[in-house]
Structure 1
Amino acid sequence: MIEIERKFLVISEAFKMEAFSEKRIVQGFLNTHPDRTVRIRIKGEEGFITVKGRSNTEGTTRFEWERKISVQEAEALLAVCEEGVIDKIRYEVKSGSHVFEIDVFLEKNKGLVIAEIELSNENESFIKPFWLGEEVTGNIKYYNSQLSKKPFTEW
């Protein structure tokens, strides 16, 4: 239940040519406290509830618990979430033995594209595709919970 991930800005849409999956994601937050966020998500045709803990100092590692729920439950919970629903398209791209999840944000976060990679340990090496830009791991303004409060178009 520990998530280790790194985040990067994306500098090219070339990843779309490499994607093996593309799904729309709509998500909101029941709680955006830094010690615990509670996220409700509809990803494609599936619903999820996720609890995340505070990140470590580097922003790479934190507690994560997730369970599948029905889309109907997710829709009902989204209706009572804090203001600021996130809408995005997620692409998945294989790179070596890893998969990058690239989020192309829509609506109030339009123009922002972030790639994430999950790792088995903080020092694990991985292949960096040419379309990866600046690393933003640990920069809380790029966390979805913060983008729901202060969207990219308002920076």
Structure 2
Amino acid sequence: MLEIERKFLVGSEDYKSEARSKTRIVQGFLNTDPNRTVRVRIKGDTGFITVKGKSNASGTSRFEWEKEISVVDAESLLKLCEKGILDKDRYEVPVGNHVYEVDEFRDENEGLTVAEIELNDENELFEKPAWLGVEVTGEVKYYNSQLSKTPFNLW
């Protein structure tokens, strides 16, 4: 249940031609305390509830627990979430032995596109495609929980 990931800004839309899928995601947060974030998400036609712990010093790893729930339950829980529901399109882009999840945000976060890659080890090597931009791993303002509070268009 340890999540290890790195996060990057995206420099171009070239990832779209390489994507194997695109899914709309709507998500909100029941709790945005950095020690225990609780997220509700509808990804396509599936609901999820996720609990994430505090990130380590580098921001690359943290505890994560996720459970699939019905869309009806997720919709009900979204009504209880803190202000700032996120809406985004997620592209899954295979690169080498990994898959980047590229999130293209909508609404108040329009114009922000972020790519994440999950790793098995913090020092694991991975390919960086040409469309990948500056690394923002560990920069709190890019966490979804923070984007729900302080959207990109207010920076």
Q: Normalising by structure 1, what TM-score?
A: 1.00
CA distance in 2, matches of 1:97, 1:31: 34
Task: Give the percent of matched residue pairs that are identical in Structure 1 and Structure 2.
Answer: 67
Query: Is residue 2:67 matched to residue 1:74?
Result: no
**SS of residue paired to 1:33:** coil
Look up the match of 2:133. Answer: 133
Amino acid at match of 2:14: A
**SS of residue paired to 1:102:** strand
Superposed counterparts of 1:58-137, under 5 Å: 58-137=58-137
CA distance in 1, matches of 2:33, 2:13: 33
Amino acid at match of 2:124: E
**SS of residue paired to 1:77:** helix
CA distance in 2, matches of 1:46, 1:129: 30
Post-superposition, which runs of at least 4 consecutive aligned residues in structure 1 deviate over 4 A? none
Look up the match of 1:4. Answer: 4
Amino acid at match of 1:83: K
**SS of residue paired to 1:25:** strand
Q: Name the count of aligned residue pairs.
A: 155
After superposition, what is the alpha-carbon deviation per residue over 1:15-51, rounded to whole angstroms, capped at 9, x for unaligned?
Answer: 0000001000000000000100000000000000000
Extract unaligned runs of 5+ from structure 2.
Answer: none
How large is the Cα RMSD of the aligned pairs?
A: 0.2
CA distance in 2, matches of 1:102, 1:131: 11
